[in-house]
Structure 1
Amino acid sequence: MLAPPLVSPESAGMSKSGFDRVEAHLKTRYIEAGRFPGTQLVVYRRGKLVHSTAQGHADLERKVPVKPDTIFRIYSMTKPITTTAFMMLVEQGLVALDEPVHKYIPEWKNLGVFVAGTTPAFLTRPPARPMLIVDLLRHTSGLTYGFQQRSNVDAAYREKKIGEVEKAGTLDTMIAELAKIPLEFSPGEAWNYSVSTDVIGYLIGKISGRPFEQFLKEHIFDPLGMTDTDFFVPPDKAHRLAACYSADPQGGMNFHAADRKGTLTLQDDPATSSFLARPELISGGGGLCGTAADYLTFCRALLNGGELEGIRLLGPKTLALMTANHLPGGRDLPEMSRSLFSEAAYQGIGFGLGFSVTMDPAKTLIPGSRGEYAWGGAASTAFWIDPAEELIAIFMTQVLPSSAYPIRRELRTLVYSAITDSNL
C-alpha cells in the first residue's frame, strides 16, 4: 500500500504546536539527555497522516540518522500481527477459541501446575481445567517468560533459553521443552506475560498446513504491501537496520533496576546482528522487524474494521471481539497480573486477544478513550489505536528494556494534548 501523504494536523482536528511540543520533549528529555539514540513518531487521524518525524540517530557509533525507512526490531509488537493471523483461521472455521490446546499439542495434555522444586524435579498438581486456545491469546495460559525472574518456573525457561531476545532452537523444540516444564498457575486463574503468542505462531503453522512465516507473508504482508516487515533483514536492506541499545550500564536487560543513569550501551550492532540471517525459531511473540510505515499500514486496516483499500484481513465483528476485555470477571491487568514485567500495567487496562484494552480512562490517569487498544515492544517501541478518536500513533526507538522510562505514558499525554477537535 502507498503511504498516505503528510497533511497539516489542523485538517484532522490537531495542532502543529502540539506536535512541536512532542518533538521538543523527545529531543531534550530523551535524545540530548542520552536516554534514546533517536526516535520516530507517526500519528494518523481521521484518515490522514498528520505527523511523521524522525530525529536523532539510528546508529550512534556510525552517526547514521533515523530516517523514514529505518528498520526497527519491533519485538512484542509482533504479537498483534500473529494474533490477527490466528483469528483469520478462526474465521475460516478451522479452530475455535474454546478448544483445548492439547487437541493440537497432544504432549501438553498432562501439563501440571507448579507446586515446588526445581528443574527437572518439579512437584506439580493437576490444573483446575485444561488450557484453552483463548488462554494463549489473552495470556492466562499459565506459561511465562524467563526474564520475569520471579519463580523456579521462570528459571527453567532461562535454562532452556525459551522466549529469550536472542532466540534458541525452533518452534518444534520450544513446544517439546515446554511439555517438560510445569505451568505457573492453573489456566484462567491469573494473567502472566508469556511465550503464549509464540505458541499461537506454532499453531498457525500446524492448523494452516504451511510454515507460520509463509502464512503471514501470504495473508498479511504481501496483500497489504508491508514489504519491509519480516523475521530478518535481507542484505539489500541491512544498511537500514537500526542499532539496538540497553539502558542498563552493563548492556543487559535488567527489568527491575529503578535508577537509570541516562547512558546507553550497544546491545545489538546492526553490522553483526542476528536479525541479518533467517532465524531457526520464528517467533510470533517477538521476532519481527520492520518500519513505522509498514506498521501504520497494518494499524490502518485494524482501525478501518479489518479492511484497507479492498484487502480484508478480518471482519469487523471479529475485530470487535479481539478488542474487548477478555480477562475473567471483567477485571483489569493489575487485579489479575502476576507479571513483574509486561508492556502495560495501568489501572483500568484490560486485555483482549493480542492487545491491551482501555476499559476506564479515568483509572489510568492518562488521557485516552474507552476501547483504545495497544501494545509495545521490548526495545521501547509502542503503538495505540483509538477508534473513538479515529487515531493511530506509532513510536519507534531501540532501547532495552521498555520499562526503563515512562515514555509511553508521556506520549499519550502529549499526543492527546495536540487534539483540538475531539470526537467525544
Structure 2
Amino acid sequence: MFENLKYINTLMNEALEKDSIAGGSVAVIHKGETVYLEHFGYADRASGKKMSGDNLFRLFSLTKPITAAAAMLLLERGKIELRYPLKWFLPTFDNMQVLDENGLRPADRDITLGDLLTMTSGISYPGGTPSGMKMGEVWGRQSDAYEKGGKPLSTRDFVLEMGNVPLAFTPGAKWEYGASADVMGAVIETVSGMKLSEFLKKEIFEPLGMNDTGFYIPEEKYHRLATPYVQTPEGNAVYTNHDLCITDYKAPPAFESGGAGLVSTIEDYSKFVKMLLGRGSANGVRILGRKTVELMASDCLTDTQRASLEWDSMLGQGYGNFMRVLKSPAAAGFNGSAGEYGWDGMLGCYFCIDPKEELAFLYFVQQAYTGCTDFTRRLQNVVWGALE
C-alpha cells in the first residue's frame, strides 16, 4: 500500500545534495503502526556522525502541543475551565493594559485560559511591536541571567513578570503568535502543584514510554543531540543562537518553557503522536479521553480571529490548542483531509495527523526557520499520495 513512500527518499536525498539540510528523519504512522522510518544525512556534519533514531532534537514550538495536552488533562479532570480568567492563577495578569501604535489603554476584558490555547490572548513574543519591545526587555533580562552567570527566574516567576507587560491587543480581538504556551506552562504548575517537567513526566512521558523527552539532557545522552544549522550567504553553517531563553540543555533549566523548551527523538515524539492518533490512547495506555482529543484537534477561532492568520503556512488553516487545523486542502496546497492538524518548530521539526485516514507524518531536522516550507508540503503530499 505504501510503495510510493520511496519518493520520500528521493526528496530527502535531493535536499542533502542541495545542502538545504545536513540531515533528518522521517516517520509515517498508519492506524497506530509505524509503516516508514528512515534517517538521512548527518546529525553532525563536522564529525561525520550519521543521523539515526537515537538522535535528540530541539523541538522548539513542537513543545506546544504537549503543553496543550497537559492543559487538556487538567480540563477533563475538572481542574480548569477554558472560560476561567488567567488572573485567577497568575495575579499579575489582572487589569491588563493594551499597548499599540495608538498608545496605552485598558484592555476590554480579561484573558481567559481559552485565549491562551488559541493564541488570541494578546501576550506577545519579543518583537518589533510596542508590546513586543516591552516583552523583549523581560525576556532579555532572563537570557542575560543565564548567559552572564546570574540567577534566572523560575517558570512561574518569569511568567508573572510577563504579566507586567501590556498586551498587544485586547484578548479575543485577533490571532497572533506569542508566549501563550509559556504562560499556560505556569498555569499547569499552579493548578497541579508540580513543576511543569514533573507533571509532563508523570502524566504523559512515563505512561507513553517517552524516556528521551525532557527539558534537559543527562550527561550520558548529550552526545546524541543533533547539531543545528542555518543557511547563510556562505552556505549551511552551524546555528549558535540561544533563542527564547532556551539553555544548552546540560542541566535542568530554571525556566521550563512550555512553548519551546523540550528535546526529544523522532521515535519518542511518535509515541505522543500515536496517542493523539489513537484518540487519547496508545499501546493500551490511555492519556486523554476521546472527546478531549476531538476538542484539542478542533479549530477554535472565530471568523474574525481567523482573518488574522496571515502566515503563508496558515493558508487554508484554522487554529486551536497550539496547533493548526486544516480547513481547505486546496488553499493550503495539501492533498490531506479537512480536519488534519499539527504544528512545527523553529528548527524544522514538524508533525501532522489526519484522523479521517488514521495517518500521521513526522519530519525532524535541525535546520533553522524551516518548520513549514514548500519542501515540507512536498513530503506531506508524497505521504498522502501513497494512500490507495
**Could you tell me the TM-score, scaled by structure 1's length?**
0.84
Report how far residue 163 of structure 1 moved.
11
Pair 1:350–1:165, CA change in 2 (3 A): farther
User: Structure 1 stretches of 5 or more lacking a match?
Assistant: 1-9, 118-122, 250-260
Q: Secondary structure at the match of 2:362?
A: strand
Matching residue within 266, 270, 289 for 1:315? 289
Paired AA for residue 266 in structure 1? V
Amino acid at match of 1:73: R
Displacement of 1:406: 2.6
* CA apart distance, 1:110: 1.2
Distance (whole Å) between structure 2 residues aligned to residue 403 and residue 297 of structure 1 = 20
1:174 maps to which residue? 158
Which residue type is aligned with residue 115 of structure 2? D
In structure 2, what is the Cα distance between the partners aligned to 1:350 and 1:74?
22
Alignment check: 8 A CA contact 1:231 1:282 kept: yes
How far apart in 1 are the matches of 2:141 and 2:357? 35
Per the TM alignment, residue 262 of structure 1 is displaced from its structure 2 partner at its CA by: 8.2
- Normalising by structure 2, we get a TM-score of 0.91
- Pick one of 145, 149, 163 that aligns with 2:125: 145
Which one is further off, 297-306 or 41-50?
A: 41-50
Query: CA distance change for structure 1 residues 356 and 214 in 2, over 3 Å: closer, same or farther?
Result: same
Q: 1:84 aligns with which of 69, 81, 95?
A: 69
Of all paired residues, the percent bearing the same amino acid is 32
Match of 1:133 in 2: 113
Question: What are structure 2's unaligned runs of at least 5 residues?
Answer: 147-151, 242-246
Residue 267 of structure 2 is aligned to residue 282 of structure 1: no
Once the two structures are superposed, what CA deviation does each residue of 1:198-224 show, in whole Å capped at 9, x if it has no partner?
111111110011111100000000111
> What stretches of structure 1 move > 4 A for 4+ residues in a row?
162-168
Match of 1:221 among 179, 191, 205: 205
Distance of 2:34 and 2:338 partners within structure 1: 23
Counterpart Cα distance in 1 of 2:20 and 2:143: 21
1:385 equivalent to 2:357? Answer no
Deviations 1:360-381 (A, max 9, x none): 2122132110110110011011
The equivalent residue for 1:120 is: none
- Give how far 1:313 is off: 1.2
Residue 292 of structure 1 corresponds to 266
The reply to whether residue 184 of structure 1 matches residue 131 of structure 2 is no
The question of whether the paired residues in 1 share the 8 Å contact of 2:100 and 2:130 is answered with no
Counting only pairs closer than 5 Å after superposition, residues 15-414 of structure 1 correspond to structure 2 as 15=3, 18-28=4-14, 30-116=15-101, 123-146=103-126, 149-161=127-139, 169-247=153-231, 249=232, 263-268=235-240, 274-329=248-303, 332=306, 335-337=307-309, 345-402=313-370, 405-414=373-382
> What is the aligned length?
377
**CA shift for structure 1 position 22:** 1.4
Per-residue CA distance 1:266-295 (angstroms, 9 max, x = gap):
1249xxx71222211100101000101111
Amino acid at match of 1:174: F
Are the counterparts in 1 of residues 173 and 305 from structure 2 also a CA contact under 8 Å?
Answer: no
Match of 1:7 in 2: none
SS at match of 2:361: strand
The separation in 1 between residues aligned to 2:222 and 2:128, in whole angstroms, is 37
Q: Quote the offset at 1:47 in angstroms.
A: 3.0
Query: For the residues of structure 1 that align with 2:358 and 2:375, how far apart are their CA atoms?
Result: 22
